[in-house]
Copies of this chain bind each other. A is one copy, B any other.
Amino acid sequence: MTGPEQKLEPKDLAATGRNLLAFAAEMYPICRSITGKGIRQTLETIQRQIPLELHHVNSGTQVFDWEVPQEWNIKDAYIKDAAGNRVVDFQKHNLHVLNYSSPVHQTLSLTELRPHLHTIPEHADWIPYRTSYYKRDWGFCLTHNQLLSLQEGNYEVRIDSTLEDGQLTYGECFLPGTLKDEVLISVHACHPSLANDNLSGLTVATALAAMLRERTLRYSYRFLFIPGTIGAITWLARNRDAAKRVCHGLVLTCVGDAGGFHYKKSRRGDAEIDRAMAQVLKHCGEPSEILEFSPYGYDERQYCSPGFNLPVGCLMRSVWGSFPEYHTSADNLDFIRPEPLARSLGLCAAAVDILEKNRRYLNQNPCCEPQLGKRNLYRATGGGSIHEEINARLWVLNFSDGEHSLLDIAERSGLPFTAISSAAELLATNGLLVDIS
């Protein structure tokens, strides 16, 4: 993979994207849930790419207003018709079982069974993804066509699952930087065979961590691979000091499909991460949209709860819930594509680059412009127009007054942060600026 300072070139993009997709494919078949072997196996797969510390929290542990739930594991599940045929079979697709279903083994008439069956009539070939974490229940998810083909009669239903005291597991990859201030990258790792939501997030976060490991970092970076909601709540409850050190944060979800980018701002709305994301999206060459914060969504719900109010936004391509494949079997490995995955990674790297390089400088010649020409920093012949790089130098000099950061200057000038940042480095090398951040 390329470093965060380099643009991902078309060739690298293709190769990077294929690697990301291959990694997603490796994790796709695992039946994950918020607890149990599935998520553990997933985290172990990630551990082979980056240094990931696994944390295990006992069932029943109180975390704020919540309690860590029991561990759920499942071996098999099916509905058999009177002839003994598996008409719905967990072995064929792990979405077929209502995630976190209690064990059951009964014979029921179709009428009795019906309330336990979930389908999507509008997409009659897709299996929905449904869960019942916090209310004991069992059920099956099937295509609507499967449902329509079921005859009256008795069915043997079996869910060979266990719900027992055990542990909730999450993974944490910490990359120390010069500062104790932290950047938080959080992805949920609890969804079963769903690709965009959120194998795309897992693969991009893993690749970003691998990329940042190779680099000297100003900020410390903390990557969380956690079960949704309860994982974020558990981490926050156990890491209140670390939470206080979070200066910038991103939740990544649905970053592999072919849609344009969406960035949902943090609750603060004007945090540096919000501005950094707006900056990279503006210059990324893809369609993008900035969304205001709302308290419904992914784990930014918890990070942005009023008791924490962390500056954590959420990066998506297509917005969860807004595309028909969302939370269905159609969110599969064909729905995510190599290039969008690679471009999502590049975007995250570019945002990190802004956070790393966003400093305040002080112009050492604040009265009038310094004479750039004598330092070979200006064109020689006057009368024509100047280029972006000289323009960027003028912007940096004029606004390096101690009040404006490079990101401020990029925003005000309309020039890309990269142009402003390069200009600042060059001017600092020439003694015209000093870093006061």
Interface of A with B (CB < 8 Å)? 63-66, 98-99, 118, 128-135, 137, 139, 229, 232-233, 236-237, 267, 294-296, 301-302, 304-309, 321, 327, 363, 365-371, 373-374, 380-386, 391, 394-395, 397-401, 413
Contact = CB atoms under 8 A, between A and B. Distances in A.
Interface residues of A: mostly helix, strand, loop or mixed? loop
Contacts of A380: 132, 134-135, 137
Given A294-B413, A305-B368, A363-B306, A130 B236 contact: no
A373 B307 CA distance: 20
A134 B233 CA distance: 64
The quantity of this chain's copies bound in the complex is 3
A429 B128 CA distance: 35
Contact of A130 (B134, B383, B385): B383
A128 B368 CA distance: 28
A325 to B, nearest CB: 13
B66 A134 contact: no
Contacts of A236: 367-368
Contacts of A137: 380-381
Nearest to A302: B368
30 contacts: A64-B367, A66-B368, A66-B371, A98-B381, A130-B381, A130-B382, A130-B384, A131-B381, A132-B380, A132-B382, A133-B382, A134-B371, A134-B374, A135-B373, A137-B381, A139-B381, A237-B368, A267-B398, A294-B395, A295-B399, A296-B386, A296-B394, A301-B394, A301-B398, A305-B368, A305-B398, A306-B363, A306-B400, A321-B385, A327-B384
